[in-house]
């Protein structure tokens, strides 16, 4: 029996129907609902030029001359070109005072020198804490937050980010990133919550609610931005802003649900995928931007492009022969605001297109309505200036405690042979590796600067691992030659290692990646850099115990050095309190409990994910010999060690047979069988035994995290429903099929039947 519901049309015909040049006005949920009279009254007073200006977003650096804000350029942009939005910063982070001065200058011109006095909407990429602001709090990147399995921590971090961002005077945050981290070559991997859809749904929704739940006009909130809609995170080449090829069932089953959840959680804005899906640039797709996003998901908020993405329809994607044609395609498809961002070509072209009748005024009014509505909701028309009362919410000591907790719960112990960890504080440590004295490697992208590589911009109290280790065990017990330059060859000087190894009790190597953001972080090879591999091998040859600390934004392949290490700890990008958190774990003050949010690959060319198909479980290197081991990562999704141990009782179900209307009650007793307290993350997976479309081996459907005292047992409970047993079939329909299913928790499996 097949039960079908929520029919979704997304087949070949739907792709073929994507309109790249349609001039027809879109019909969306916005036009069907009662509109805000404040907004409609304002729009009725606006000229074409004023409307198009509101759809234009310019980067701040375009308004600078010789490193200084050029008031004539600013005045030209706001008064002459009517721009409605500005983003970014001119290179270096600003103090709260400098932000207030800058935004006051901007709003003075907007509200005093224009006829309609429309305030500017300012946006920023505060994606793991408030960036571009001196002294702000930075939290672990999303990939580390996925390892915490703690949605409360995600919410707390987002709330603090909202407080500090609003304190700077900015009310629009381009976060959270809701892609699924399934292409480890991709340079934005660290911005995702992990390879499981369920992680992105839960974590992203928690962030959105924390950003917006107090009300956008309050000094404790910012407008969130779900991004990058849709399918951005799996470019086939692994390079940023390049094409993805995603079967329709995968698109709807894996990549779309976090955006559905984001809409249901109340996100105000969306940023669009810079790449293509199956040859269709998302910025050019009326299907993705209007039919699916507006019509099906019911999203009513503002849709903004990413950097220069409309122009790139011409010179990168080659679907538009001119920039003007690119503007026509994108706006008719459903874009509301163009992050142009360096010039006024978008403005000039769109004004001309409206005058020529190539873009209908109804489409312009629809876009401007969404922009004006957001400005009203944010309270900009009541007070466009930075709110003085918000300053008190910046830089509180308690924020560092949340950052420390987030780093502690994210860091994942991957290997610990013979109880190498925790270390004794009397140990003498030889510390080497390019990340040992480098702050950028601990923070990653969007860390005070875009690339996060400027070591001078981090707060004075931010510690490198070297400084944190010296503070923990004393300078005299640390032997280290590393510099703040990640690429300095001295950091991997084997001669130094060999000459000092005998003086140490343990060798600690900090390996991984330097900081990077977006395309500059592109790589051709997932293997860790050879100089770091050789350093590790030389360390093993000394006969001393070796601990590897990995600071990286994506899982670089280290299979050639895993066996020789006595302990391995994955730090991800733990940020401002990452060094302190690492020391607490290394020396046993804190019991590690992070769990991998992705499958850590063993080989660069062998990327198989936790929810693989059953055929991926098979190896057939000898013809007609069907051996197992197809899913053979270095460490499985969900792997993470502790300084204690946990055991799982048999999984208990309230029934053995269910109907599609039943709730499925799942319980399992978990026991801390070790001699110290610790937190344990419990992942629940569902497996469909047989289906009309090949089922996944297992799919994450729930997770929770609990603290256990030594010897303590707890009954952990989950509830599933029919939606957790559904899949998208080959006809684009959400489907449930009768048959056998399994629930997996820890090393236990329980089977039931769906009638």
Q: Which of 175, 306, 309, 377 is catalytic?
A: 306
Say if strands 652-653 and 2-7 run parallel, antiparallel, or are unpaired.
unpaired
How many whole angstroms separate alpha carbon 361 and alpha carbon 52? 10
**Exposed, middle or buried by CB within 10 Å (0-12, 13-18, 19+), for 295?**
middle
Neighbours of 21 (CB within 10 A): 14
How many whole angstroms separate alpha carbon 203 and alpha carbon 144? 11
φ/ψ region of 520 (left if φ > 0, alpha if ψ in -120 to 50, else beta) reads alpha
Neighbours of 421 (CB within 10 A): 22
Query: Would you give the end-to-end CA distance of the chain in angstroms?
Result: 8
CB 350 within 8 A of CB 52: yes
Say if strands 172-173 and 733-737 run parallel, antiparallel, or are unpaired.
unpaired
Kindly report the three-state secondary structure assignment for every residue of 369-402.
HHHHHHHHHCCCCCCCCCCHHHHHHCCCHHHHHH
How many whole angstroms separate alpha carbon 327 and alpha carbon 195? 34
* Among the listed residues 134, 213, 55, 223, the one whose alpha carbon sits nearest the alpha carbon of residue 460: 134
Sheet containing strand 567-572, strands side by side:
412-416, 567-572, 546-551, 506-512, 429-432, 478-480
Dihedral angle, C-alpha 289, 295, 300, 305, nearest 10 °: 0
CA atoms within 13 A on the CB side of 481: 15
What kind and span of H or E run contains 706? Answer: strand 699-708
Is 306 annotated as catalytic? yes
How many whole angstroms separate alpha carbon 6 and alpha carbon 333? 25
Rounded to a whole number of angstroms, the CA Rg of the chain reads 26
* Among the listed residues 167, 165, 139, 166, the one whose alpha carbon sits nearest the alpha carbon of residue 154: 139
How many whole angstroms separate alpha carbon 196 and alpha carbon 207? 17
- Omega prior to 228 cis, within 30 of 0: yes
What's the sign of the alpha-carbon dihedral 144, 145, 150, 153? positive
* Among the listed residues 752, 627, 628, the one whose alpha carbon sits nearest the alpha carbon of residue 686: 752
Sheet containing strand 699-708, strands side by side:
657-658, 748-754, 739-745, 678-688, 699-708
CB 374 within 8 A of CB 557: no
In the chain, DSSP finds a helix count (H) and a strand count (E) of: 23, 30
How many whole angstroms separate alpha carbon 667 and alpha carbon 650? 9
Residue 430 φ/ψ, nearest 5 degrees: -90, 110
How many whole angstroms separate alpha carbon 728 and alpha carbon 734? 5
* Among the listed residues 650, 657, 664, 641, the one whose alpha carbon sits nearest the alpha carbon of residue 715: 650
Catalytically active residues are 306
């Amino acid at each position: 029996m097949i039960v079908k519901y929520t029919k979704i049309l997304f087949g070949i015909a739907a792709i073929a129907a994507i309109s790249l040049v349609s001039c027809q006005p879109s019909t969306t949920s916005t036009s069907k609902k009662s509109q805000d009279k404040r907004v409609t009254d304002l729009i009725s007073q606006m000229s074409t030029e004023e409307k198009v200006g509101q759809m234009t977003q310019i980067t701040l650096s375009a308004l600078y001359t010789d490193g200084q804000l050029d008031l004539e350029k600013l005045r030209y942009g706001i008064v002459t070109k009517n721009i409605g939005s500005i983003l970014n910063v001119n290179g270096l982070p600003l103090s709260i005072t400098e932000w207030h001065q800058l935004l006051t200058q901007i709003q003075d011109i907007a509200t005093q020198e224009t006829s309609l006095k429309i305030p500017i909407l300012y946006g920023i990429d505060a994606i793991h804490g408030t960036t571009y602001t001196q002294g702000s709090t930075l939290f672990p990147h999303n990939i580390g937050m996925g390892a915490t399995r703690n949605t409360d921590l995600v919410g707390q971090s987002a709330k603090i980010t909202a407080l500090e961002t609003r304190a700077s005077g900015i009310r629009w945050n381009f976060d959270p990133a809701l892609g699924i981290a399934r292409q480890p070559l991709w340079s934005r991997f660290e911005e995702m919550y992990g390879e499981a859809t369920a992680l992105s749904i839960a974590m992203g929704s928690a962030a959105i609610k924390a950003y917006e739940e107090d009300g956008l006009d309050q000094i404790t909130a910012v407008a969130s931005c779900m991004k990058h809609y849709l399918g951005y995170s799996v470019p086939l080449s692994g390079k940023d802003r390049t094409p993805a090829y995603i079967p329709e069932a995968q698109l709807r089953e894996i990549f779309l649900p976090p955006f559905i959840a984001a809409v249901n959680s109340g996100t105000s804005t969306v940023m669009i995928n810079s790449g293509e899906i199956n040859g269709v640039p998302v910025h050019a797709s009326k299907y993705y931007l209007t039919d699916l996003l507006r019509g099906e998901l019911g999203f009513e908020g503002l849709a903004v492009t990413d950097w220069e993405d409309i122009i790139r329809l011409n010179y990168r994607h080659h679907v538009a022969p001119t920039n003007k044609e690119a503007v026509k395609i994108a706006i008719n498809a459903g874009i509301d605001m163009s992050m142009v961002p360096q010039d006024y070509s978008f403005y000039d072209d769109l004004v001309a297109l409206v005058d020529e009748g190539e873009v209908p005024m109804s489409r312009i009014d629809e876009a401007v309505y969404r922009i004006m509505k957001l400005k009203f909701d944010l309270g900009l028309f009541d007070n466009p200036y930075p709110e003085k009362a918000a300053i008190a919410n910046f830089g509180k000591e308690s924020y560092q405690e949340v950052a420390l907790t987030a780093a502690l719960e994210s860091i994942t112990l991957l290997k610990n042979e013979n109880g190498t960890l925790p270390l004794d504080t009397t140990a003498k440590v030889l510390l080497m590796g390019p990340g040992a004295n480098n702050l950028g490697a601990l923070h990653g992208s969007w860390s005070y600067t875009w690339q996060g590589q400027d070591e001078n911009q981090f707060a004075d109290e931010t510690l490198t691992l070297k400084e944190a280790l010296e503070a923990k065990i004393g300078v005299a017990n640390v032997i280290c030659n590393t510099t703040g330059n990640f690429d300095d060859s001295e950091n991997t000087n084997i001669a130094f290692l060999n000459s000092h190894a005998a003086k140490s009790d343990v060798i600690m190597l900090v390996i991984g990646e330097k900081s990077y953001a977006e395309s500059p972080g592109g790589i051709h090879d997932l293997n860790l850099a050879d100089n770091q591999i050789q350093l590790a091998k030389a360390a093993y040859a000394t006969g001393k115990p070796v601990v590897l600390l990995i600071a990286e934004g994506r899982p670089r392949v280290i299979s050639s050095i895993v066996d020789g290490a006595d302990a391995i700890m994955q730090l991800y990008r733990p940020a401002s309190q990452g060094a302190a958190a690492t020391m607490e774990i290394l020396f046993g003050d804190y019991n590690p409990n992070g769990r991998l949010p992705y499958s850590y690959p063993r080989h660069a060319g062998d990327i198989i994910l936790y929810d693989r198909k059953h055929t991926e479980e098979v190896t057939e290197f000898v013809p007609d010999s069907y051996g197992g081991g197809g899913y053979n990562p270095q460490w499985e999704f969900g792997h993470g060690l502790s300084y204690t141990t946990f055991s799982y009782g048999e999984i208990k179900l309230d029934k053995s047979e269910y109907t599609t209307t039943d709730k499925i009650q799942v319980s399992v007793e978990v026991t801390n069988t070790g001699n110290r307290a610790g937190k344990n993350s419990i992942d629940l997976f569902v497996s469909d035994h047989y289906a009309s479309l090949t089922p996944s081996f297992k799919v994450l459907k729930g997770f929770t995290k609990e603290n256990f005292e030594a010897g303590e047992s707890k009954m952990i409970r989950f509830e599933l429903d029919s939606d957790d047993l559904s899949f998208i079939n080959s006809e684009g329909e959400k489907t449930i099929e009768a048959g056998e299913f399994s629930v997996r928790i820890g090393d236990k499996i329980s089977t039931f039947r769906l009638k």
